[in-house]
């Protein structure tokens, strides 16, 4: 039979708490795998953002290029000749609207091709380094 002394002594002994053991090796492994999973997730997210940005830039550059081709397609009637009063009058007479004529005249210099052996004075001046 346990005596009151025994019970008191047991209570006294229970005030001493055993030490906590080291964490289990699997817990460390679990944390490491969780950490590597988080890292992999971050890398995946960054890669996804870069891909989306690249696709966005690609689409945007195509959109910027599109108006030139549209204008070129919309103004096949514009002859690739130097602009004179005569040609301008001819354009005004044949074009569907005044705006179409102005657009055609505005973009025609870009599509102007020079004969072989000749070059644009503006292009030459643009290349030269002028020292003042």
Of the candidate spans 13-21, 45-53, 68-76, 93-101, the one that interacts with other proteins by CB under 8 A turns out to be 13-21
Tell whether residue 4 is a contact of other proteins (CB under 8 A).
Answer: no
Binds other proteins by CB under 8 A, chosen from 4, 19, 99, 130: 19
Per the CB < 8 A criterion, the answer to whether 111 and 80 are in contact is yes
Tell whether residue 14 is a contact of other proteins (CB under 8 A).
Answer: yes
Q: What DSSP letter does each residue of 23-76 carry, written as one string?
A: PPHHHHHHHHHHHHHHHHHHHHHHHHHHHHHHHHHHHHHHHHHHHHHHHHHH-T
DSSP letter assigned to residue 50: H
For other proteins, the closer CB: 15 or 97:
15
- Which residues sit at the interface with other proteins, rule CB under 8 A? 2, 5-6, 9-10, 13-22, 24-27
């Amino acid at each position: 039979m346990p005596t009151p002394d025994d019970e008191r002594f047991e209570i006294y002994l229970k005030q001493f708490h055993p030490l906590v053991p080291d964490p289990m090796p699997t817990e460390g492994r679990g944390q490491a795998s969780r950490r590597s999973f988080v890292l992999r997730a971050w890398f995946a997210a960054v890669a996804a953002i870069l891909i989306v940005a690249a696709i966005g830039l690609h689409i945007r550059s195509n959109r910027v290029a599109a108006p030139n081709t549209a204008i070129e397609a919309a103004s096949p009637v514009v002859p690739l000749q130097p602009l004179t009063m005569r040609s301008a009058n001819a354009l005004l007479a044949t074009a569907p609207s005044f705006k179409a004529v102005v657009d055609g005249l505005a973009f025609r210099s870009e599509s102007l091709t020079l004969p072989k052996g000749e070059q644009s004075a503006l292009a030459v001046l643009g290349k030269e380094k002028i020292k003042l």
